[in-house]
Chains A and B, each alone.
Chain A
């Protein structure tokens, strides 16, 4: 369950800081989301064991809380932008982003299992660069960890995660990559043909739309 040479590409972006964690996943906080980060299904990485490992995870939930003041303001007609910006930038922070741990990198080796230790509070969380995603998803072993998690929307998460992983590759490689992932899913979901069918159909539609 390992692969060599996870690339520490410098184009990964810090997107938040750790709020809380356990072995199976973590939640980080960030300011108002940018249009492109963080997104559902994104690959992210977090340091753990004092930098000895990088945990790889996928975002499965982004949570924005309300409160009484927001509830009052939504009833105001024509709310000026300054009030909206105050709520978004100053009050509703941090926005909470939940991540499922699907592996880690130790000494440039990718290990597809839960990390020995979770990340600690206030550590920076980075997006994975395209090269990181390609390296990590060369093996499909991480799909087992996603399927075994108890989080809702697992079907959606698999579809989006595979789409992200496909998009990190060249157009020519995408078809073969998704085909291999489909074969793996067929083995993992052999007991649930309806679920498998649903996932594969939607993956196919996504792929055809993309090309």
Chain B
């Protein structure tokens, strides 16, 4: 037995006591934040504070013309719509394996809402093994860059599928993450990051040209952009510095999700602009500024607050914004608060432990045919002998 549960019993007890007291503290903070939201005034002073904050790399939320404490009912879902979702999974390079490679697998579902037909499902693996893939800057590719590549491939797959769809019917594309590409720390890989970001933006532009609309859906979001706006609202004037706005106090430990739990089932919050420097410096000039809102896809007793990110051009077309809102709510009613198509695309994308073993075996056999004989590391071999009973915990 690796984990002797009896040895953590007292820690678990202490942990639950700590969490209980923290819960009370958070409830108080939540009350304060709700009051600020209700009394929020979007005036010239706030605009000046926002302008200054942006110059200090503030990552808050910029209000739009919609009052920030407003809520919007779920519009009716059109009778017919194409709802397409893509998700991806990856196998990272394993230096203990027989060969260095990484794999990205996408799973997609094209759901014809109102058609009564079975959706079209597919998955597409992408194997990377060339030196320029594995060692793009002379050193091993980082997991963050592989994740970014996965996000780009997911978006490209959506773009491809959107092009194929009948444009007479509205088409909604969904991803299960935000639309701001995360590229890690962007140090040694700066030039590669810039290229990847451009590729991502080009794909968003292509999607816009298809007439489809796109949304990134985030489950249980940890973001606090709107809370940062409340914090900025609380500050008296524009004489603040970077450190002051970096701290979330008195709203630390809260999330926007908690703030918007007043939304009734199906309702969305106001729309905000994500003030992240990446959005304003790269996405906005490309005409792909990312906006976001929160939506309750749960029930009265059990609210489920999702964060939805959309490009600005979606918010400028009421029919597109409306169908994204209604599709997410409608799909979530069959997915326990999470869009059904995203659940299914994840299912189609995921690479199981067994499938990875089969792939490794295929690669090994192919190498043997080319007279290349390699072995897994002694450490990896040792794990195959000792880990069999624990495999289920690693998946």
Which of B117, B121, B333, B336 is the one whose CB lies under 8 Å from A82? B117
**Alpha-carbon distance A112/B216, docked complex (angstroms):** 62
Given the interface contacts A72-B336, A73-B334, A89-B118, does A82 sit within 8 Å of B343 by beta carbon? no
**Alpha-carbon distance A86/B345, docked complex (angstroms):** 12
- Chain B residues, CB < 8 A from A85: 116-119
Q: Which of A120-174 contact B (CB under 8 A)?
A: none
B382 CB within 8 Å of chain A: no
Question: Could you tell me if A90 and B121 are in contact, using CB atoms closer than 8 angstroms?
Answer: yes
B318 CB within 8 Å of chain A: no
Task: Find the A residue at minimum CB distance from B116.
Answer: A81
Task: Find the B residue at minimum CB distance from A75.
Answer: B336
Given the interface contacts A73-B334, A76-B334, does A83 sit within 8 Å of B340 by beta carbon? yes
B251 CB within 8 Å of chain A: no
A contact patch SS = helix
Nearest-Cβ distance from residue A66 to partner chain B, whole angstroms: 15
Q: CB-CB contacts of A67-95 with B at 8 A, as 1s and 0s?
A: 00100110010011111011011110000
Question: Could you tell me if A83 and B116 are in contact, using CB atoms closer than 8 angstroms?
Answer: no
Q: How extensive is the interface on chain B, given as a class?
A: 10 to 19
Q: Which of B196-253 contact A (CB under 8 A)?
A: none
Given the interface contacts A76-B333, A76-B334, does A82 sit within 8 Å of B344 by beta carbon? no
Nearest-Cβ distance from residue A94 to partner chain B, whole angstroms: 15
**Alpha-carbon distance A121/B344, docked complex (angstroms):** 28
**Alpha-carbon distance A78/B119, docked complex (angstroms):** 18
- Chain A residues, CB < 8 A from B119: 82, 85-86, 90
- Chain A residues, CB < 8 A from B121: 86, 90
B282 CB within 8 Å of chain A: no
B320 CB within 8 Å of chain A: no
- Of B112, B340, B343, which is in contact with the most chain A CB atoms at under 10 Å from its CB? B340
27 examples of A-B residue contacts, CB within 8 angstroms: A69-B347, A73-B334, A76-B334, A79-B334, A80-B114, A80-B116, A80-B334, A81-B116, A82-B111, A82-B112, A82-B113, A82-B114, A82-B117, A82-B118, A82-B119, A83-B334, A85-B116, A85-B118, A85-B119, A86-B109, A86-B111, A86-B119, A86-B121, A88-B118, A89-B118, A90-B344, A91-B347
Besides A72-B336, A86-B121, A90-B121, 20 other A-B contacts (C-beta < 8 A): A69-B343, A69-B347, A73-B334, A76-B333, A76-B334, A79-B334, A80-B113, A80-B334, A82-B113, A82-B114, A82-B118, A85-B116, A85-B117, A85-B119, A86-B109, A86-B344, A88-B118, A89-B118, A90-B119, A91-B347
Report A's interface with B, CB cutoff 8 A: 69, 72-73, 76, 79-83, 85-86, 88-91
